[in-house]
Amino acid sequence: MDLLRTIACQQHSRMCEQTLAKSGELRLSRRADPPTPPAAAAPEMSRIITDPSTGKCYCRGKVLGKGGFAKCYEMTDLSTNRVYAAKIIPHTRVAKPHQREKIDREIELHRTLFHRHIVHFYHHFEDKENIYILLEHCSRRSMAHILKARKVLTEPEVRYYLRQIVSGLKCLHEQGILHRDLKLGNFFINESMELKIGDFGLAAKLEPVENRSRTICGTPNYLSPEVLNKQGHGCESDIWAMGCVMYTMLLGRPPFETTNLKETYRCIREARYTMPSSLSSSAKQLIASMLSKHPEDRPTLDDITQHDFLTQGFTPDRLSQSCCHYAPDFHLSSPAKNFFKKAAAALFGGKKDKVKFLDNQNKLGKDDDEIYKLKSDLKKMSLSNQMNNKSPSDEEQRGTNCDKPETAPVKETEQQIRDSIRMIVRGTLGSCSSSSSESLEDSTMGSVADTVARVLKGCLENMPEGDNFPKEQLNCSFQWVTKWVDYSNKYGFGYQLSDHTVGVLFNNGTHMSLLADKKTIHYYAELGQCSIFTATEVPEKFIGQVTILKYFAHYMEENLMEGGDLPASTDAQKPRLCLLQWLKSDRALMMLFSDGTFQVNFYHDHTKIIICNHDDEYLLTYINEDRISTTFRLSTLLMSGCSQNLRARMEYALNMVRQISLRRLE
């Protein structure tokens, strides 16, 4: 009986290990010690702690984190009110000699490190109960907490953090120290959103290959092949872990994560992982080089610093604290932002503005390759009268919640609703426009907005209550917006479709699209009038707008991630999507297209709903916070109902599309 109980306990322990490994929380220590048997309940730790050597008193605050041996608390020096992160290790947890040696080694290594991107070591002391290590307090917690809230990060953010990781790691390696446990939970963020490498519990001095310890230590999802094969840690092992970190930041999951620890280790040994197409080519190249199977094939820290991913794309100088919870909106950032401010004067200003701008561009250096490449186009820029200086006000462009009373709804029969849902909003417009009445017939925008509103309203009023999604789900493709940039304070609203067409709705009401072939441009000045020309033979009067269109395309390609996993339509016969109207509220962005496609992106959790017409039937697609998409027929929702989360989003979307009609009537 005892044997059976022992076997059962061992199996349960293995299951727990696999679960923890999957979540990335299990850390393999230098030696597998059996758990300390439970003893009598330890006395509660005092709130006021005195350093016996100095007499200083500290007040212990809230728990910041937990580790294998220790807990980390906020601790305030009562004489100065300075706040520290205090790692507190009970003597009972390090009673064995090798355990105490581990703590002493961590202290000895960490106290010698002074770098902007390494958690600062201040002081350590001990009393009869505990060992206390006072460290720099990082109020924004760790990258693991940020990614848990954000799911994924944008490429500019990853560049920002990666530069700081490389800087801190270079300081370690130059002093002959290996971290050996680089992961999101060990990158701490301070009040200024600066990254600090911390937790040196597994750190060790770099030894020659023949003298390296063959112990497997670290976090399973971040272990390198040579460590698993017991060849020992080197600087290349930290580079491998950094590749795993970069992949996780961009995609929200470690590259080798599986449901089975043995399978994870097999994938690591074979360097086998998937590389989604949503990543930019330079990001893929850098990740692939850091995750090379053989250590000698991996880049050095200097190589990483010089890689195109870090040198070519936009990197912010600083991040807002809101980035801990929400994706940043970088717009067009310096130096490109300053460049295009001047370009705006040339496009929309007078002759003197144009001459001054072009003279300045003659002095432009090659610091920014993209701007330099566009310089020759801008020299040819002509101030065309077709681009006027009238643009909607900020309030009109961004949108606000509408509190106007609604008229009493007229109840329709179920069959009428079905018929309404199956109605087709045909792409008969032949063109696109915007919120500007100068280049759009109100009746056209009104008919599209009114039809979408009627379909949504009819579905919501007649849809039964439900808790789950309908069982019937579709697998079809259509065009939708995967990326967007609001730069309407200067030029307009840019977006990228799932087929990689890029469009810009300019503030003056004109619309321009660069098709997926990157060679063909469609220009819509007003209803029914479309001009088509190649990107290499641009009519002189369109050079300014084409230049800005190209910049929008380049910016979104380099800096923004795809918005979900929905496949793109490849049907060449489908009408091209052109943006009619966009509207921003404090919660969401709404986009309405010429064929009746209607998309709403919610900021706080990055969910999206898309309504479109496909094969003579209306479909609704919901992209959840994990970027997973689900598509239903609206007629199915009408019969089966849906979850409260989706219903709430549909109701909010209906209120947004109604604003278009209300503004048209004002």
pLDDT level of residue 625 (50, 70, 90 thresholds): confident
Helices and strands, counts by H and E, the chain: 19, 22
341 marked as binding residue: no
User: Which of 206-220, 239-253, 348-362, 476-490 reaches the highest mean pLDDT?
Assistant: 239-253
Euclidean distance between CA atoms 236 and 295, whole angstroms:
6
Euclidean distance between CA atoms 452 and 580, whole angstroms:
13
Q: What is the mean pLDDT of the chain?
A: 77
CATH 3.30.450.40 fits 443-662, yes or no: no
Kindly state the tokens that stand for 633: 């027929």
Domain residue ranges in the chain: 48-136, 142-320, 443-662
pLDDT in tens, 209-262: 766 676 777 788 899 999 999 888 889 999 999 999 999 999 999 999 988 889
Mean pLDDT of 10-22: 47
Asked whether 352 and 334 are in contact (CB, 8 A), the reply is: no
Note the pLDDT of residue 359: 52
Least confident of 38-52, 172-186, 361-375, 507-521: 361-375
Contacts of residue 193, Cβ cutoff 8 Å, sequence gap at least 6: 140, 318, 319, 320, 321, 323
Note the pLDDT of residue 259: 87
Per the DSSP assignment, residues forming a β-bridge with 142 are 188
In three-state secondary structure terms, 26 is coil
pLDDT level of residue 302 (50, 70, 90 thresholds): very high
> Phi/psi at 278 (nearest 5 deg)?
-70, -20
Note the pLDDT of residue 661: 64
Note the pLDDT of residue 487: 87
Is a pLDDT exceeding 60 seen at residue 375? no
Contacts of residue 151, Cβ cutoff 8 Å, sequence gap at least 6: 252, 606, 625, 626, 627
Assigned CATH topology for domain 142-320 = Transferase(Phosphotransferase); domain 1 (1.10.510)
Is a pLDDT exceeding 70 seen at residue 52? yes
Is a pLDDT exceeding 70 seen at residue 432? no
Is a pLDDT exceeding 60 seen at residue 399? no
pLDDT in tens, 56-115: 999 999 999 887 778 999 999 999 999 999 999 999 988 888 889 999 999 999 999 999
Euclidean distance between CA atoms 256 and 272, whole angstroms:
7
pLDDT in tens, 19-51: 444 444 445 543 334 444 444 455 678 899 999
Note the pLDDT of residue 379: 37
Return the active site residues: 181
Euclidean distance between CA atoms 516 and 505, whole angstroms:
17
> Phi/psi at 601 (nearest 5 deg)?
-105, 125
Is a pLDDT exceeding 50 seen at residue 401? no
Asked whether 134 and 122 are in contact (CB, 8 A), the reply is: yes
Which pTM was predicted?
0.50
Kindly state the tokens that stand for 490: 């200067």
Is a pLDDT exceeding 80 seen at residue 339? no
Note the pLDDT of residue 617: 80
Cis link prior to 335 (omega < 30° from 0)?
yes
CA 31 from centroid of its chain's CA atoms: 37
Is a pLDDT exceeding 60 seen at residue 409? no
Mean pLDDT of 410-414: 45
Angle between helices 351-361 and 369-379 (to 10 degrees): 140
Assigned CATH topology for domain 48-136 = Phosphorylase Kinase; domain 1 (3.30.200)
Note the pLDDT of residue 606: 86
